Amino acid sequence: MLKRLNLRNLAAIALCFAVAAIFLGCDREDDMLFEIDGLTVDNYPRVDGSSSTQPLNTLIACKLLGWRCEWRSLMEGNGTWHLEPNREDAPDMRYGQ
């Protein structure tokens, strides 16, 4: 009987902690709110995911992550350039290798 009572008490305490965690966590605001000055939903251009929008997508991602970015020439040497995150800012990334 004592073991059953302890198990009930433990379950009740765990339930109280779970409910408290849910209610205390709901009102918390996200500390990591990213934004770019001047960029709004109204003035953001319509993009379709084509390769011509890659520089804009990369630039926005780098700005939001706080990374530098740089223009690089493609290896083929056909005169095409693309925007890449700076490899020092994202050392674990295998981008462009």
Q: What is the pLDDT of residues 36-85, one digit of tens each?
A: 788 877 888 788 877 788 888 888 888 888 889 999 887 776 778 888 88
Report which of residues 92 and 46 the model is more confident about: 46
Query: What are phi and psi for residue 21, nearest 5 degrees?
Result: -65, -40
In this prediction, residue 29 carries a pLDDT of 61
CA gap 82, 54 in Å, rounded: 8
Predicted structure pTM score: 0.52
Task: Flag whether pLDDT at 93 surpasses 70.
Answer: no
Asked if the model's pLDDT at residue 21 lies above 80, the reply is: no
Please report the pLDDT score of residue 92 as a whole number: 65
Strands (E) in the chain, as ranges, are 69-73, 81-85
Residue 64 token pair: 């939001």
